[in-house]
Amino acid sequence: MNTAELLVRCLENEGVRYIFGLPGEENLHVLEALKHSSIQFITTRHEQGAAFMADVYGRLTGKAGVCLSTLGPGATNLMTGVADANLDGAPLVAITGQVGTDRMHIESHQYLDLVAMFAPVTKWNKQIVRPSIAPELVRKAFKIAQSEKPGAVHIDLPENIAAMAALGDPLSKGDLEKTYASFNSIEHAAKLIAEAKNPLILVGNGAIRDRASVALTDFATQLNIPVANTFMGKGVIPYTHPLALWAVGLQLRDYINCGFDRTDLVIAIGYDLIEYSPKRWNPDGKIPIVHIATTHAEIDSSYIPVAEVVGDISDSLAEILKRTSREGKSDAYALELRDDIRADYEQYANDEGFPIKPQKLIYDLRQVMGAEDIVICDVGAHKMWMARHYHCDRPNTCIISNGFAAMGIALPGAIAAKLVSPQQKVVAVTGDGGFMMNCQELETALRIGTPFVTIIFNDGGYGLIGWKQHNQMGEESFVKFGNPDFVKFAESMGLKGYRVTSTQDFIPTLKTALEQSVPAVIDCPIDYQENIRFTQKSGDLSCII
């Protein structure tokens, strides 16, 4: 047995089912070991796509997704997806090939110090310098990647070490014990919540990671406290719940911001500051905050909790609920706010304008997708509309990157989602800019048999940057580009391609595309004049009753 074979045995021991990556000269021994393994190696068309697949796999399952590259350019290509996983709190293990240790002291072909390079974008990373340390290093990598707050780790394997004879066995995993909040912190939080007149719950991705959806919904319902979620906290409470105020996070005045203007206590549950800066909703740091999470609060002048309840979120909420009551208390303003939000959403139900308004396209997408179906959203102007208008009944059914927020994640992410949930409908929602960054992975999807639908919001440009240029500079510049014929592009790869030619055409086209046994692409001309209209409207919103 060599080190590469021992490494693969350790990965099997960790329950790894898939490794996403590209073959290279310096990872040949690992690839050879994988040929005789229970792990499926999925050859991708670009290392960035491989990292995004591992990223979304980790976010959906809570188990580290694994990606593999060779050294040099292979490793640098991997970095964007690794950084995305790290900032989005998705467990990921990246493995890179490397030159032999006998070449590191001299100038060598494709050699970079990968441990130094990955240090800023990972929780932890090490090089395997002796065969015997492989089991300890792999076990530690997975433990760190999957511990709260999850993130990316990196293992670097030099070519000569991979080939060396190795002795050893994988280490037993053991179970991570839950931690529980102190009684004092629970009592303090319960008192503050009982005394608040207009409390508001802000829930983030940490509540999804900790599987606290049921406990949170029960907590909000019994205490009659309205709930706003971050982009990455969608579905923690069903969007149909009468206390759900839907998503907060647009960097503009919006209906939900009015709720923060009126609250006298924010109960932040599983909220990561990176999801939506507290300076946006608490600029003066005057709103009292109760922090309920599995980790302590980050330091931020706009986020200084008056109480921190640190431990298992479901248990914390249940214990607080035993100690507080808000009988007879309700915030009529919050309920009126929900009516305004829903009315704004519903007004596009029968809109027939073409090109399609983003609000209408997303409204219709919601009608077709089931409660358990999964949407992976790319980054761009469409992301802002998806965050505002695509609502969820279940956690992890709308995946939005809002930590690193990297373009190009949707299409490879949809491949991972289909591997995780093969029985569910999966849709990648992307702009034409983001689509062209990783569209080559459609061949990967076809080859491994993961059919899903890609919806392209086609405006011939980088719409989000154009939107911001309009707001700040009064005009667009350098954001327009040309596109291929997306239908012919899809067909040339053996896929199904569709083009929407009227607003009424979208739903039947989507339903047809979802029935295909191969990946499908839908080209949707989009009316991004709505971006400017929304800016004007949100700027005029009044929070004064």
By percentage, how much of the chain surpasses pLDDT 90?
Answer: 83
Does the structure show a pLDDT above 50 at 130?
Answer: yes
pTM of the predicted model as reported, rounded to 2 decimal places: 0.95
Q: What are the pLDDT digits (tens) for 296-345? A: 999 999 999 999 999 999 999 999 999 998 765 656 677 777 888 888 88
Q: Which pLDDT score is estimated for 541?
A: 42
Task: Pick the closest to residue 24 from 132, 109, 104, 86 (CA basis).
Answer: 109
Whether residue 259 is predicted with pLDDT greater than 90 in this model: the reply is no
d(CA 451, CA 415): 8
Helices within 154-211 (DSSP H only): 159-163, 183-195, 205-209
Kindly report, as residue ranges, where domains of CATH 3.40.50.970 are found in the chain.
3-163, 347-537
Tens of pLDDT, residues 364-381: 999 999 999 999 999 999
pLDDT of residue 64: 98
Pick the CATH number of 183-328 from 3.40.50.300, 3.40.50.1220, 3.90.180.10, 2.40.50.1020: 3.40.50.1220
- How much is the pLDDT for 544? 34
Main-chain phi, psi angles of 364, to 5 degrees: -70, -35
The pLDDT of residue 325: 84
Tokens 């690794």 identify what position?
Answer: 82
What is the reported pLDDT for 157?
97
Rg from Cα positions in the chain:
24
Please, what sign has the CA dihedral across residues 363, 431, 42, 517? positive
Rounded to whole angstroms, how far apart are CA atoms 110 and 74?
Answer: 10
Quick one: pLDDT at residue 343?
A: 87
Pick one of 3.40.50.970, 3.30.450.20, 3.30.460.80, 3.40.50.1820 as the CATH number of 347-537: 3.40.50.970
Record: fold of 3-163 = Rossmann fold (3.40.50)
Those residues with Cβ within 8 angstroms of residue 143's Cβ, 6 or more apart along the chain or in another chain: 176
| CATH 3.40.50.1220 domain span(s) along the chain | 183-328
> Where residue 108 falls among pLDDT bands split at 50, 70, 90?
confident
Average pLDDT over residues 217-233: 94
Stretch 256-276: mean pLDDT, rounded?
88
- How do the residues of the chain divide into helix, strand and coil, expressed in percent and rounded to 5? 45, 15, 40
Distance in angstroms (rounded) separating the CA atoms of residues 399 and 448:
22
Cα separation, 285 vs 302, in Å, equals 4
pLDDT at 538: 59
- Percent of the chain exceeding pLDDT 70 equals 95
Distance, in Å, from the CA atom of 459 to the CA atom of 290, rounded to the nearest integer, reads 43
